[in-house]
Structure 1
Amino acid sequence: MKVLEITFVPPDKKSGGGLGVYQSIKSLAGNCEVDYIGPAYEIELFSDTINKVHIHTILKSKKESKLLGIIRFFTKKVSTSFYYSWMNCKNHINWEQYDFVHIEFSRYSFLINECHKYGKKCMIRIHNIEKDYAYNIYRMSRTMANKMRYYSFWINEKKVMKDGDMFIFLTNEDIKRAIELYNLETEKITKNPVCIDEKGQFLKCKKINEKKNILITGSLSYAPNIEGVLWFLNNVWEKLSTEDIIDNAFLTIAGAHPNESIKEAIKKYPNVRLIDTPNEMESLFRNADIYIAAVFDGAGMKVKVAEAFSYGLPIIGTKHAFIGYEDLHFGKYIADSESDFIRQIKDICCNRTLLESREKIYHLFCINISMRSSIQRYKEYISKIGEK
């Protein structure tokens, strides 16, 4: 069996979107051969897949003026700068060799139109509800470009939900939202959470009297992440700083392009460090003892939570942060108020049993949200789309 993968976001192991695309391709390649159309990526990413991942076409982003971008939006209702590269590519596709097409994100209705012209069914990976995701970007920076992106995502997503043949969602919440917004047909719906490669090894836990490293990660220019970090600093860390426990812990905040408000806020605390756009995240996770997910808003499943679980870290987070992780009943500590966060941090820092529970957390990760579990689910989806 052979599948055509189309994406305008390259696979990688750094960004949330890139990790999602990486998961899709690796899951597909665990079951069939994959031809890739999309931006350039590191070839080594898929060197260990069961089946081959072949590059069909590397798409290139077109540099254009704001005026041309506006013209593209109003004439095509398309927000991606890869559109013109795709238009050149599509005429060179031998559609007959593919059993179906796998598309990333629900904001490119023109891809589905093209696939259906040749009788090819489309399996769409829903990374989040694009209408809600784009609105979160727009409300943080109310520029005309972000407003146009918001309307483009909404218009395209509505068409995608109507015309797609199968949809792979991350969470039950996104499924409910899609049905609410677009009256999506339930027989087209499947679910596969964010899944991460197994790490195999992680550092031993620190002793009770050793200094604990508490970690927060994420894109620090994205509104829900900015709001969560500031809330945690001003409401939780501020109060912990007056207690003895904080003398035995420090907080690391790491992520891409931190907002100025975050840079300003951490100046108050000598036991907080900010790592601006780190080159790699693995060492940060391996050296952490506790992970914090103070997120109260935002679309989709939080990839950073899956990453923390993949390192066997106990996670203190809001109910919103744990959307999609309902099957993991150990290692997650729900906190929706400042008092909840303070209590959970104290309990874990002072409880040797909790600090030494990383192997159990990692075991549950492997069963529920490891790449192996994703490959198995895709086996079922591929069989199902073949029956349609």
Structure 2
Amino acid sequence: MRILYFYPENPLLKNQGNNARALALLEYFKFKEIEVDFVGVYADNFQNKEIDNLKNNKYIKEGYLLKSLSRKKNQLRYFFLYSLPRKIVRKIKEFDRRRFGQEKLFEEIVIKKEYDFILISYAYWANLIEKIEDTKPRAKLIIDTHDFLTSQFQNMKNFKLGKYFETEIKLLNKFDEVLVISNEEKYLFSQFLDKKVSIVTHALEEKFDANQSDKKYDLVYVASSNEHNIKSALWFFEEVYPKLDKNIKICIVGRIVNYCPDKENVTKIDFIEDLGEIYSQSKIAICPMLSGTGLKIKVVEAMSYGIPIVCNERGVDGLLNKTNNGCLATNDATEFASYIEKLRKDLSFYNFHSNESRHFFISNHSIKAAYSKLDEVFKL
């Protein structure tokens, strides 16, 4: 079997949940000994050296990076094939991240080989297949949505729900099958698509630790610096932190550290190669999340270590069950703090939720559970 997999960023960068999902898919392909050619988007942090790293790790056979063509060298072509059509059709620019010439470059990659599957990440890259739609190869076209994108744009000045949602559905309908990460997205998209919609949730190895005492950190908080995380981190430190024991030990990992205050009991780590080093030293995970959509990868990562999670209601988005999963969810700051303190001080309460975290993970996010779903998608 041969797959052409498009994912715009470097999946080996472990600083974002979306990269973790992409890498998990590559791990699956590697485990199943599937030949994968990879296409990304050229950037300062994603160049030939990173493609070589993917090859050396046996994740891919061939790798390509899409650059945009020079406007100065192709002025007429740029105007008639790129600029003018966009003005006439008036596409929503947020749903089209292609740059000049990238779909043509993608077409050239597609015709080099016979592929069984062409897998595209994100609806806003769906138009990459525009050049191959009329002469569709025998490959099955699959899109991995990652998220419900219309919701991400709702705070924009000129946002119109109907127009944005209609655009997203039209883009997804270009494909033979649509992959989603949660029940919510499957229910939503399946109401409007005439294509198969399949849940492929996030898979990780089990790394449970029987010894939950003598941990270096009471709390671990892992997050990038997107607008949802920034707002949520501010809420945690303004509303929850003052209600916690002053001796509590907190570790914050990721670019969110730039938006968190300096405190004597808070360790801030901008980047770490292996998050397992921190999770294995932490007793409780927190996921303050006031907005945003989709599965929170950081929640699944904590579950893979059997760690209970205290979160807002948005923190359990995307989970196949909202209860009995090791998460204590509340939007009330006082209750959020009390959950943390009870997990710290009540061993039986802690063990109960730790066991729920483990059992939920094994049933839904273990390698065995997730790979069985992927086998259905890729006919294995």
Q: TM-score when scaled to structure 1?
A: 0.76
One-letter amino acid of the counterpart of residue 231, structure 2:
E
Q: 1:30 to 1:226 in 2, by over 3 A?
A: same
Q: 1:57 to 1:179 in 2, by over 3 A?
A: same
Counterpart position of 1:361: 357
Counterpart position of 1:55: 62
Give identity over the alignment, percent: 21
One-letter amino acid of the counterpart of residue 365, structure 1:
F
Counterpart position of 2:198: 190
The answer to whether residue 172 in structure 2 is matched with residue 161 in structure 1 is: yes
Q: 1:88 to 1:279 in 2, by over 3 A?
A: same
Alignment check: 8 A CA contact 1:205 1:355 kept: no
Give, in angstroms, the shift of residue 329 of structure 1.
2.3
Give, in angstroms, the shift of residue 45 of structure 1.
5.8
Counterpart position of 1:111: 128
Cα distance in 2 for partners of 1:114, 1:63 equals 19
How far does the alpha carbon of each residue in 1:166-198 deviate from its partner, in whole angstroms, 9 at most, with x for none? 111111222344467xx223x5211122223x1
Cα distance in 2 for partners of 1:89, 1:192 equals 25
Give, in angstroms, the shift of residue 348 of structure 1.
0.6
Higher RCO by CA contacts (8 Å cutoff, separation 6 or greater): 1
Higher helix share: 1
Counterpart position of 1:9: 9
The answer to whether residue 325 in structure 2 is matched with residue 324 in structure 1 is: no
Counterpart position of 1:383: 379
Alignment check: 8 A CA contact 1:33 1:53 kept: yes
One-letter amino acid of the counterpart of residue 101, structure 1:
I
Spell out the pairing of 1:225-374 with structure 2 (5 A cutoff): 225-240=229-244, 246-256=245-255, 258=257, 262-263=259-260, 266-267=261-262, 269-278=263-272, 280-327=274-321, 329-356=324-351, 358=354, 361-362=357-358, 364-374=360-370
Cα distance in 2 for partners of 1:298, 1:290 equals 22
| Aligned-partner SS, 2:315 | coil
Cα distance in 1 for partners of 2:84, 2:154 equals 19
Counterpart position of 2:28: 27
Give, in angstroms, the shift of residue 364 of structure 1.
3.8
Cα distance in 2 for partners of 1:88, 1:101 equals 15
Cα distance in 2 for partners of 1:47, 1:324 equals 33
Q: 1:28 to 1:368 in 2, by over 3 A?
A: same
Q: 1:43 to 1:369 in 2, by over 3 A?
A: farther
| Aligned-partner SS, 2:143 | strand
One-letter amino acid of the counterpart of residue 34, structure 1:
V
| Aligned-partner SS, 1:97 | coil
Alignment check: 8 A CA contact 2:285 2:310 kept: yes
One-letter amino acid of the counterpart of residue 189, structure 1:
V
Q: 1:188 to 1:73 in 2, by over 3 A?
A: farther
| Aligned-partner SS, 2:123 | coil
How far does the alpha carbon of each residue in 1:108-137 deviate from its partner, in whole angstroms, 9 at most, with x for none? 23223334322433111110012222446x
Give, in angstroms, the shift of residue 34 of structure 1.
2.0
How far does the alpha carbon of each residue in 1:313-343 deviate from its partner, in whole angstroms, 9 at most, with x for none? 1101122211222347242222221232122
Give, in angstroms, the shift of residue 21 of structure 1.
1.5
Q: 1:348 to 1:369 in 2, by over 3 A?
A: same
Give, in angstroms, the shift of residue 285 of structure 1.
1.8
Query: Any stretches of 5+ residues in structure 1 without a counterpart?
Result: 241-245
Give, in angstroms, the shift of residue 213 of structure 1.
2.1
Alignment check: 8 A CA contact 1:250 1:272 kept: yes
Counterpart position of 1:219: 224
One-letter amino acid of the counterpart of residue 15, structure 2:
K
Give, in angstroms, the shift of residue 104 of structure 1.
0.9
The number of aligned residues is 353
Counterpart position of 1:200: 207
Counterpart position of 1:101: 118
Q: 1:46 to 1:347 in 2, by over 3 A?
A: farther
| Aligned-partner SS, 2:224 | coil
Q: 1:372 to 1:59 in 2, by over 3 A?
A: farther
Alignment check: 8 A CA contact 2:122 2:146 kept: yes
Give, in angstroms, the shift of residue 23 of structure 1.
2.3
Q: Aligned-residue CA RMSD in angstroms?
A: 3.7
Q: TM-score when scaled to structure 2?
A: 0.78
How far does the alpha carbon of each residue in 1:139-188 deviate from its partner, in whole angstroms, 9 at most, with x for none? xxx7xxxx89x9998786343123221111111222344467xx223x52
One-letter amino acid of the counterpart of residue 40, structure 2:
G
Give, in angstroms, the shift of residue 349 of structure 1.
0.5
| Aligned-partner SS, 1:88 | helix
Query: Any stretches of 5+ residues in structure 2 without a counterpart?
Result: none
| Aligned-partner SS, 2:379 | helix
One-letter amino acid of the counterpart of residue 121, structure 1:
K
Counterpart position of 1:37: 39
Cα distance in 1 for partners of 2:202, 2:277 equals 21
One-letter amino acid of the counterpart of residue 317, structure 1:
C
Give, in angstroms, the shift of residue 300 of structure 1.
1.6
Give, in angstroms, the shift of residue 15 of structure 1.
1.4
One-letter amino acid of the counterpart of residue 164, structure 1:
F
Counterpart pick for 2:140 among 98, 107, 121: 121
Cα distance in 1 for partners of 2:124, 2:304 equals 29
